[in-house]
Amino acid sequence: MSAQVSPIDEVKTTPWSGGSSPFKVEYGKMMMWFFLLSDAFTFSSLLISYGALRFSSNSWPAADLIFQSVPGMLDSGAPLVFVGLMTFILIMSSVTMVLAVEAGHRMAKKEVTMWMIWTIIGGFTFLGCQALEWTHLHHEGFWWGTIPHELKEYFREGAALSPTYTQQFANLFFTITGFHGFHVFSGVIINIIILVNVIAGTYEKRGSYLMIEKVGLYWHFVDLVWVFVFTFFYLV
């Protein structure tokens, strides 16, 4: 005689019963996706504001003329070279994070440790490059609310110089790149904490390196946002 399943037991097996995560997604990972979605709205609003101002003006700085320096080496003559290097470093740190996640799936503690260290190095290097760029621009008089008189030559040929738009460009540039830099710094600190736990064997004892994957989602998001920031400020 076959056993009958009561309606109560049947309800408990449904995806939304609370006994398991909806769509079989781990709770922490789902919360990370929610956070990244909300953060994406913030970056989107900032970049849309920049785009609206950028395309409403005929007097806007030419990025390939402003960002010509390689701090410590060249003051001009190398358009977008330094920021291209910054972008490459951040993308490579995303690659090392992917390798750390993959090693975690194989429970390879030593490989996870190695790739996490390289990811942290990449993050710190990017922040160092951004600090050099900001220092150089500040030294040239390019800062929140101000652009020096000497930068007139950097504006598109034939366009009238508008103090209002130049100040808006400076304000948005330092605000958005600074906000992104804060995210990178936060990611590096989190990665260091995770690395300490990896070395201590915390995730090995749990039998899962899922935390590496959660942090990896955040790190990839930071890299993806930089692609948009790079496109908006340095290429368009």
Query: How much is the pLDDT for 17?
Result: 52
Nearest alpha-carbon partner for 122 in 87, 174, 164, 70: 87
State the DSSP code for 74.
B
3-state secondary structure of 1: coil
Which domains are seen in the chain, by residue range?
Answer: 42-53+60-235 (1.20.120.80)
CB 234 within 8 A of CB 68: no
CB 195 within 8 A of CB 113: yes
Q: What angle do CA 171, 174, 178 make, to 5 degrees?
A: 140
Q: How far apart are CA 161 and CA 111, in angstroms?
A: 54
User: Among residues of the chain, what percentage have pLDDT more than 70?
Assistant: 81
- pLDDT: is 163 or 203 the higher one? 203
Q: Which tens digits make up the pLDDT trace of 175-230?
A: 999 999 999 999 999 999 999 999 999 999 999 999 999 999 999 999 999 999 99
Please state, rounded to an integer, the average pLDDT across all residues of the chain. Answer: 83
Query: How much is the pLDDT for 150?
Result: 52
Query: What contacts 6, CB < 8 A, 6 or more positions away?
Result: none
Query: How much is the pLDDT for 230?
Result: 94
Q: How far apart are CA 83 and CA 61, in angstroms?
A: 16
Nearest alpha-carbon partner for 103 in 95, 113, 93: 113
Q: Is the dihedral of CA 137, 141, 145, 148 positive or negative?
A: negative
Q: Which tens digits make up the pLDDT trace of 89-140?
A: 999 999 999 999 999 999 999 999 999 999 999 999 999 999 999 988 888 7
Burial 186-207 (b: 16+ CB within 10 A, else e): ebbebbeebbebbeeeebeeee
Query: How much is the pLDDT for 20?
Result: 53
